[in-house]
Amino acid sequence: DLAELLPQWLALADEHGYKAPPAALPALLDAARARTDLRAPALRFAGPRGLWLARLNPEWRFALRGTGTAGALPSPGDTEAVRALWDEGLFAERVALLTAVRDEDPAAGLALLASTWAAERAEDRLMFLDSLRAGLSDADEEFLEAALGDRSRNVRATAAELLSALPSSALAGRMADRALTCVGPDRTADVPTIAVEAPHECDAAMRRDGVVAVPPAGRGERSWW
């Protein structure tokens, strides 16, 4: 029965920092509603979108009752209440709050996160960073660029992923420059030909920008880079 493998699968997904695709969230919440042993790992896998979705369906309110988020969040414009909940709330409350503020005012959401970023746990930083997907813009680049130097590999990878979605970001420019160094004319050919030569090493700058040095099984290093 594949359902019996769900706890192990969710544990592995959490270990690797994976997040559920939006289309899978309803089924994931249904599974967690039916099995209490799945609720904690399923909600971690669901991420901020899962908490947001749970507020829209009474059958999924369990996701909020256990975390204290069932009540109404303060208005994003109520800065004192937002600050108090951000400083004193449970983790799930803070995720829901950040998502709500971000939806209303992306800049205010970023400022809220930045105000405590250095003191957050690595696993919490990952979840909070994922909340920046909503309203992502060039205004987030400076914060995300700094997150490329985070202690957590998963946080660094998420920051690189978000930056790669900003075409004008410095990271996108660096990646384009690297690609250009690998492409040039093949002067040995009889007709004009483009030659492509893979990188010879995965240096520290490439790793900082999210290039994984160790390729998957069956892939060569240089072609992977």
Please write the tens of the pLDDT for every residue from 5-55: 788 888 888 888 888 988 999 999 988 887 767 778 888 888 888 888 888
Residue labelled with tokens 């042993």: 37
**Is residue 136 situated within a structural domain?**
no
pTM for the predicted model, two decimal places: 0.61
**Is residue 51 situated within a structural domain?**
yes
pLDDT band at 65 (very low <50, low <70, confident <90, very high): low
| Tokens of residue 155, six digits | 């946080």
Q: How many Å is the maximal CA-CA distance in the chain?
A: 73
Of the residues 45, 65, 85, which one is the last residue of a structural domain?
A: 65
pLDDT band at 70 (very low <50, low <70, confident <90, very high): very low
Residue 145's pLDDT is 95
pLDDT band at 170 (very low <50, low <70, confident <90, very high): very high
> Average per-residue pLDDT in the chain?
85
**Is residue 206 situated within a structural domain?**
yes
* pLDDT-above-70 percentage for the chain: 94
Provide DSSP, 154-220: HHHHHHHHHHHT-TTSHHHHHHHHHHHHTEEE-TTSSS--EEE---S---HHHHHTT--SSPPTT--
Residue 140's pLDDT is 97
pLDDT band at 168 (very low <50, low <70, confident <90, very high): very high
Structural contact between residues 47 and 130, judged by C-beta atoms closer than 8 angstroms: yes
Give me the domain span that covers residue 40. Answer: 2-65
Of the residues 43, 65, 87, which one is the last residue of a structural domain?
A: 65
**Is residue 18 situated within a structural domain?**
yes
Residue 69's pLDDT is 45
pLDDT band at 139 (very low <50, low <70, confident <90, very high): very high
**Is residue 196 situated within a structural domain?**
yes
Residue 90's pLDDT is 72
Rounded Cα distance, 26 and 85, in Å: 28
* Identity of the amino acid at 78: D
Of the residues 65, 81, 100, which one is the last residue of a structural domain?
A: 65
Q: CA 27 from chain center: how many Å?
A: 21
**Is residue 81 situated within a structural domain?**
no
| Domain count along the chain | 2
Least confident of 3-7, 46-50, 151-155, 209-213: 3-7
Residue 72's pLDDT is 65
**Is residue 85 situated within a structural domain?**
no
**Is residue 177 situated within a structural domain?**
yes
